[in-house]
Each structure stands twice: as C-alpha cells, then as structure tokens.
Amino acid sequence: MRVVLGVGGGIAAYKAAELARALQDRGCSVQVVMTEAARQFVQPLTFAALTGHKVITGLWASEQAAASETLSSAVEHINVALENEVLVVAPATADLLASMAHGLAGDFLTTLYLAFTGPIVLAPAMNTNMWNHPATRANVATLRARGHVIVEPGEGYLACGMTGPGRLAEPAVIAEATLGAGRRSGTRRDLEGETVVVTAGPTAEPLDPVRFITNRSSGKMGFALAEAASKRGGRVILISGPVSLPDPNGVEVIHVNTAREMRTAVLDHLNEATIIIKSAAVADYHVATVPAQKIKKTAARLSLELDPTPDILAEVGQKKGDRLLIGFAAETDNLVEEARRKLKTKNCDMIVGNWVNRENVGFESDDNEVTLVSRIGETIEIPRASKREIADQIFDHALLLRLALHASAT
C-alpha cells in the first residue's frame, strides 16, 4: 500500500518517525510531507533515511532550480495525490484540522489534502484546552462527516504540563487505522454472492391511534451495515423501523413500524439470506389490545397491560441453519457477560455489544464503540470510531468467523 504521511508542527512530530517505521513494517511504501512548522521539531533527513524517499517540505522548488523543476514542483501535489492510496496526517494540529475543515490550501500538505481522493486518516495531537475548544470540536465533526477516519488522541501528561486528552495516539494504533482505511477503500468485493439481511432502527408499538412506545435508536448503525455490505458486493435487504434517514443507494429497503411487522419481514426473507444482522432495537413490549379511540387524559392514574413482543432473534436462531447470524446487545452494565448470555440463548454466531449510557457513542450518535463476542470464544474490543468504519470491521471479523466455523466443522 502506498501511503502519504503528513507531519504537522507539534512536539508529537517525533512520533511520526515511529509511525513511518510502523507503516513500513506492515508492508507500506511511505512518502512524507512536512509542514514548515514540523521542520522546527524534526529534520526532513530523518524521514528520508527511514523511508528511502524524498521528503516534500513545500510547494515551490528552490530559487536555483531550473524552470522545468519549478513547474514540476508546482504540480507535485497532484502527482502525489494520484500516486498514493491513503493520506494519514500525524500529528494533525488544531491549525491543520481547521484548514482542512474549511478548505484552505496554504502549503503543500493542505493543497494535497484538497487534491486527494482516497481515504484520509487524521490523528490529532494538541493541548487539552485546544482539543476541547468548540472550534476544534466543530472542525473534527466536519471532517468526520466527510468520511475521514479520526484516530482519537489519548489522555495523559502533555508536553505543556497539563494532563488530559490531546496526546497523539500510539503509532501502532494509527498504522492499523491507516491499513484498515486502505483496505476498505479498495475494490474488495468479498460479499459478492451473499444476501445480507439487516434490521435497523427502533420499532413503534401503538398505545392508541396517536401514541406509541419506542426507544432512542436512530438506525444509523444498521444503515451503516447495509451500506458497507452493498459496497462490498452483497445483495442487501434492509428492514428498518421508523427512522429519519435516507434509504442507502443500491439497497432494497423494507419499512416497518411494529415488532410484529419486522418479524414478518425477516421471516419472509430468511430463506434468501446467507448473513443476518439483527441490529434493530426492537421494543420488548406492546399493548395487548390497542383501543380504537384516543385515550383521554384524566386526573386518574393510567395502567397499561403490556405483553412481550416476538423474540425475532431467538426465532431466527432456531431456524438459521448454516446462515451466519449476528445479533446486537445494547447494555448499560455487564456488557460482555450479557453478550455471552445472548450469544448462547439466542443461538447466534456473534453478538455485537455496545454501551448505550456513554456520551457520544451508541444511540443517536455517528460514532460507536463495540465489543464482539463470537461462537468460537473470541472477545474483540473495537474502539470508538464512526459507525460506518465499525460496520466494515464487523464484516471483517464476521467473514473470518465463518471461515473458522467451516474449518471446525470439516
């Protein structure tokens, strides 16, 4: 894989040398681009010696260069953008994040950013107060919304003397995120020939003609899974409860409201499916008898009789045959224990456990952090990332799991 490593101007720039080595150890060819500020912390010769490639430090050739060389330098950012597969910026300073978010192109790295069409990985590093500033948070949100991978900074003692979030993530973590972004951007079609059924969103169980029981699920995780499966070549049937999301391109979408409607849709398509992912947050209870008229408000206490809704996951688990079945467990405590229990009682091949009581992940968020518990005894933690990125990682592990299950059965 051909990687451009952009190095911003911060004390963490020295760690970019470790990142260059980590990427090379993973089989990558690395082209380094440094900002003028980065050169105050690390010399270009360091990266040239490590990578064996020329280090780019500016848009223009030296005054002594011939006219042809000057022209070559002036368009070099286009060549670099075309010749490489992934752009990773580490450290991504507050200034770089702001320039990228607002489309400013004042040096080679930010100009390259605008010309680059491949996946982009950003590893921020800065003072804690700078990281927490609303302007920085808004810029990060903008960049994340463009589909860029944000490798969150760690917490600890910083060079400025403060303690808190802002230190550059470990080079190995950034390297793995870079490789993952590169793999997912390719023409990988590892779900060709598969029919993937995904459920998403909440269900809405009526109390009367105008009221209903529901939950906070936005459907974003399920929609991300459907989009990922489609991009990887699968035929995708997305069965969605009521959400405020546009239908993904290239996906067959079935809209339902209640748990019973979702059960019917899932069972209707069970025979077609080779992979089933139940990410919907199905309501656990519904009103046994829904009145035909609106319930009038009175001063008296209102009691409702609620019956359990169908356990769709358990029913599919009984009928799944050799299909790969993946369920979700949304928990507020004992996540791994509950995921393992659900794996066994519902006869799943994998459970994706996610917290629903943590800020900025889970319900309604664009990000998630999950733990995968599989039939072969694996427990895999996937740190916070965009739901689209996590969707691809779920499929990565699911396909490996199926290979392992087939191997153990033969």
Q: Can you give the CATH number for the domain in which 330 is found?
A: 3.40.50.10300
In a domain, 69, yes or no: yes
Q: Do 300 and 268 share a domain, yes or no? A: yes
Q: Do 179 and 218 share a domain, yes or no? A: no
Residues of the domain holding 181: 2-185
Asked if 10 and 124 count as a contact pair (C-beta separation under 8 A), the reply is no
Q: Can you give the CATH number for the domain in which 68 is found?
A: 3.40.50.1950
pLDDT score for 304: 86
pLDDT score for 158: 62
Asked if 295 and 207 count as a contact pair (C-beta separation under 8 A), the reply is yes
Q: Do 275 and 310 share a domain, yes or no? A: yes
pLDDT score for 72: 41
End residue of a domain, out of 185, 215, 242? 185
End residue of a domain, out of 185, 219, 251? 185
pLDDT score for 64: 36
Q: What is the CA radius of gyration of the chain?
A: 25
The predicted model gives 360-384 an average pLDDT of: 87
pLDDT at 277 over 90: yes
In a domain, 205, yes or no: yes
Q: Do 235 and 170 share a domain, yes or no? A: no
Tens-place pLDDT, residues 170-180:
999 999 899 88
pLDDT score for 74: 44
pLDDT score for 27: 84
Q: How far is CA 69 from CA 76, 106, 231, in A?
A: 10, 20, 41
Q: Do 168 and 227 share a domain, yes or no? A: no
pLDDT score for 222: 96
Average pLDDT of the chain? Answer: 88
Lowest-confidence region among 117-126, 152-161, 220-229, 234-243: 152-161
Number of structural domains in the chain: 2
In a domain, 190, yes or no: no
Tens-place pLDDT, residues 51-95:
998 899 988 754 334 333 433 444 565 778 777 889 999 999 999
pLDDT at 23 over 90: yes
pLDDT score for 159: 62
pLDDT at 406 over 50: yes
pLDDT score for 70: 38
Q: Do 210 and 328 share a domain, yes or no? A: yes
Strand 252-255 relative to strand 86-92, pairing: unpaired
Q: Do 105 and 223 share a domain, yes or no? A: no
pLDDT score for 233: 87
Tens-place pLDDT, residues 205-220:
999 999 999 998 999 9
Q: Do 18 and 125 share a domain, yes or no? A: yes
The predicted model gives 91-113 an average pLDDT of: 95
Active-site residue list: 160
* SS (HEC) of the chain: CEEEEEECCCCCHHHHHHHHHHHHHCCCEEEEEECCCHHHCCCHHHHHHHHCCCCECCCCCCCCCCHHHHHHHHCHHHHHHHHCCEEEEEEECHHHHHHHHCCCCCCHHHHHHHHCCCCEEEEECCCHHHHHCHHHHHHHHHHHHCCCEECCCEEEECCCCCEEEEECCCHHHHHHHHHHHHHHHCCCCCCCCCEEEEEECECCEECCCCCEECCCCCCHHHHHHHHHHHHCCCEEEEEECCCCCCCCCCCEEEECCCHHHHHHHHHHCHHHCCEEEECCECCCEEECCCCCCCCCCCCCCCCCCEEECCCHHHHHHHHCCCCEEEEEEEECCCHHHHHHHHHHHCCCCEEEEEECCCCCCCCCCCEEEEEEEECCCCEEEEEEEEHHHHHHHHHHHHHHHHHHHHHHHC
The predicted model gives 215-236 an average pLDDT of: 92
Q: Do 297 and 180 share a domain, yes or no? A: no
Q: Which of 212, 161, 224 is nearest to 367 (CA)?
A: 224
Q: Do 176 and 204 share a domain, yes or no? A: no
Q: Do 170 and 231 share a domain, yes or no? A: no
Q: How far is CA 221 from CA 144, 177, 356, in A?
A: 15, 19, 13
Q: Do 180 and 210 share a domain, yes or no? A: no
Confidence band (pLDDT; 50, 70, 90) for 410? low
The predicted model gives 326-340 an average pLDDT of: 93
Lowest-confidence region among 136-150, 299-313, 396-410: 396-410
End residue of a domain, out of 185, 213, 234? 185
